[in-house]
Structure 1
Amino acid sequence: MDEARTTGGAGAELLRRRNAASVLRSLRADGPASRAELAARTGLAKATVGTIVGGLEESGVLRELEQIRSGDRGRPAVRVTLEGGRPVGVGFEANVEYVAAVAVDLAGAVRLRRTRPVADLADPAGVADALCGLAAEVAALLGAEGLRPVGATVAVPGLIEPDDRTIAWTPNLHLTGTAIADGVDAAFGWRGRVRVSNDADCGALAELHRGAGRGTDHLLYLTGAVGIGAGLVEAGRLVRGSRGFAGEVGHLPLGEPGAACGCGRRGCWEASVGLHALLDRVGMAELETPAATAAAIAEAARTDDAVRAGVVASGEWLGRGLAVACGVLDPSVVVLGGYFAPLGDLVLAPARAILADAFAAPVQVAPELRVGTLGTEAAALGAAERAVAGILDGLVDLP
């Protein structure tokens, strides 16, 4: 409440940021509005909204639109809208074959996107070097465009400690500690500002707000590459678990019992539904990206019965694992991202068939399966949204 009394500069500053964040969120979610409309939307006093809007206009975050009249008398109202650019959140993804970056402004527009292959897949330092090199390039490009990064988040396929900086376990990248966060911090000239997050969690947020998950509050997002991970949204909020490790489904024993996994064990789900498992089934070579590889497999499956059978087998193992996950989590929608998306119904149809017979109680309904619409950019895009969330939540001031 903006009318709350507070003592001390710190309390007043926090209140100011929170009120400004309410205005920013309203404009981002519901579009342009007059000051009176913003007061009605946010519950803030009209005078408070006027002060906030004036300050945000001076910062270049808002701009005025055309005047509108609500009647024949009185002064016309002036609507304001978010100005694209300037403050941006930067999202990075580090994966086995590539590193990627996306910058998003407060209005939600993508201001920059870059993807780079990783040269030495066998060397963990190669991934870190590629990511930090990309971060330095992005920092320079944003500076040249006059854009101001407010923070950055790095999405990685693994477990992240509760401090949101320390990588605890990435079985396919073999990265640990804070070196990734420290390296990206250095590229931007920061200290302790960069956060690290699970790639499936980031992808889930991106698909929820921008992609195939729009319109649902209960979403299970499954990312598919060499590894398999899940992000769970419940009542519109990301579920992370007691230590932030929720969604690590790729190494549950849901796959073929004898299938060898990159983590050193056998029977992990990703050993049966990951990209390398599919390549082994169809006898094809891996291309430069998971999306390109999956697109080539989908094209071959049109005329090659053996390739099609291999995709169907992967879809059936996908359905078996989803039957367990959905029986526990009860999502209304499952979005399949990563390499699953280019395969479309080739992999969805057999998975749906398995799910249709998976539930014992007649009142249980199989969730709707959808392919992701954001491609391999989903994790970096979600990471960028997490980076800008500090301002939209009132936790970080505008630069």
Structure 2
Amino acid sequence: MAEEEPLAGGRGRPGRPVALRGDRFVGLGLELNVDYVSAVVLDLTGGTRLAETRAATGTSDVDGLLDLAREALARGADGCTVVGAGVAVPALVRGDDRTVAWAPNLRVDGPSLAEALDDLVPGVRVGVSNDANCAAYAESHHGAATGVGHALYLTGTVGIGAGIVQDGEVMRGAAGFAGEVGHMPIGDSSAACGCGRRGCWEASVGLHAMLAAVGMAELDTPLATAAAVAERAATDRAVRAGLERVGHDLGLGIAMLSSVLDPEVVVLGGYFAPLGDLVLAPARRTLDERLASAAQVRPELRLSTLGTGAAALGAAELALGPVLAGELDLTALG
């Protein structure tokens, strides 16, 4: 706690007000994804004490996530009290915010991930959340959707998920599964998806689909991969043509979602950001062609400003929610 100067002018002994130091209390946010793991340590002042993303070693790199979490706590939370922790995953998560119900691109199931993380932060209940929801929350509070009343966030990783934010709050739907847009039947009807079916949207616009379209290999992270593709596109007509097809299919899905949700802004995250207008331009053209009425307003398409750390940042922010809502008494923690 931080002490301030005594107050004078009242009866009796001068008082000495005491204020909590927000930088002493932190939340830990993590993300486990197909090809990378991320960690963010965020304090109550909104300051990011640590942010790091690493390549994953497999499709379920829980050990790598645990190692990164330990380092994040040692480097970013040294001398601080951890008052909340959460992990974002590309999965359907049940209403207990602990149980993974379905993760088509990861070998993670049930409460095992939350239980594996519990021992790292004694006394803190680790929450599990959908990655798109976490990233959407972060973008609405820190990134490209700040100040926007109604925003739709699209992940740009191996899978494609959506986070829907209304007035700064995530809309989760009746069972908490809203936003599972990657498996809408849009795009190439013959393309195989990680869920075992064919014709899913992410099989046409996900990271692996994009790489197949341009004939290039994946690098360590989605951002590094997309940066290499963008560089090649500057001199390779075939790569630009492949990205044109991806952008077209991206626009088809955004048009469908816009007709249903009427977002003010659509934020494109993950690998979409480094590609910029290489996919945005064809997506905008397709969106204009597919909106049914001139009365419909095309949502503004924006690129994420938070990169692959967006979901981990959102997980940290959501983990601090009970503190910010006054549900946790910090004075009892020292």
Normalised by the length of structure 1, the TM-score is 0.77
Secondary structure (helix, strand or coil) at the match of 2:180 reads coil
Residue 352 (structure 1) aligned with residue 276 (structure 2): no
Q: Distance in 2 between matches of 1:296 and 1:80?
A: 53
Q: 1:113 is paired with a residue of what secondary structure? A: strand
Q: CA deviation at 1:136?
A: 2.5
> Match of 1:161?
94
Give the equivalent residue in structure 1 for 2:52: 114
Alignment of 1:55-94 (within 5 A): 59-60=1-2, 83=21, 85-94=23-32
For residue 11 of structure 2, what is the aligned residue in structure 1? none
Name the counterpart of 2:258. Answer: 326
Bigger CA radius of gyration: 1
**Is the 1:316–1:351 Cα contact (8 Å) retained in structure 2?**
yes
CA distance in 2, matches of 1:379, 1:279: 23
Mapped to 2, the partners of 1:151 and 1:162 lie a distance apart of: 18
Provide the C-alpha distance between the structure 2 equivalents of 1:168 and 1:107, rounded to a whole number of angstroms: 34
Cα deviations across residues 173-194 of structure 1 (Å, max 9, x unaligned)? 1211111111111112236x00
Residue pairs, 1:192-231, within 5 angstroms: 193-231=125-163
CA distance in 2 between counterparts of 1:180 and 1:224 reads 23
Matching of residue 264 in structure 1 with residue 208 in structure 2: no
SS in structure 2 of the partner of residue 396 of structure 1: coil
Which of the two has greater helix per residue?
1
Correspondence for 1:128: 62
CA offset digits 1:275-310 (Å, max 9, x no partner):
100111111110010000000001111110000111
Cα deviation for residue 84 of structure 1 reads 5.0
2:312 counterpart of 1:386? no
Q: Which of 249, 260, 271 does residue 181 from structure 2 map onto?
A: 249
Secondary structure in structure 2 of the residue aligned to 1:165: coil
Q: What CA deviation, in whole Å up to 9, does each residue of 1:158-217 have, x standing for no partner?
A: 1000000001111111211111111111112236x0000000000001111111101211
* Equivalent-residue separation in structure 2 for 1:139 and 1:305 (angstroms): 46
Gaps of 5+ in 2: 8-16
Residue 146 (1) aligns with residue 84 (2): no
Amino acid at match of 2:202: E
Distance 2:58 2:315 in 1: 24
Percent of aligned positions with the same letter in both sequences?
58
Shift of 1:134: 2.1
8 A Cα contact 2:33 2:90, kept in partner: yes
TM-score normalized with structure 2 length: 0.92
Residue-pair matches, total: 322
Letter in 1 for 2:27: G
CA offset at residue 80 of structure 1? 10
- 2: distance between equivalents of 1:182 and 1:131? 13
Q: Give the CA deviation at 1:131.
A: 1.5
Cα distance change, pair 150–265 in 1 and its aligned pair in 2 (3 A) = same
Counterparts of 1:320 and 1:107 in 2: how far apart (Å)? 40
Give the AA of the match of 2:207. Answer: L
Pair 132,351 (structure 1): closer, same or farther in 2 beyond 3 Å: same
Shift of 1:81: 9.0
For residues 142 and 327 of structure 1, what CA distance do their matches in structure 2 show? 43
Residue 135 of structure 1 deviates from its aligned partner by 2.2
2:155 is paired with a residue whose SS is strand
Q: CA deviation at 1:115?
A: 2.5
1:97-124 alpha-carbon deviations (Å, 9 max, x no partner) = 1111101111100011232322233xx3
Residue pairs, 1:286-301, within 5 angstroms: 286-301=218-233
Residue of structure 2 equivalent to 1:53: none
2:206 maps to what in 1? 274
Counterpart Cα distance in 2 of 1:81 and 1:354 = 54
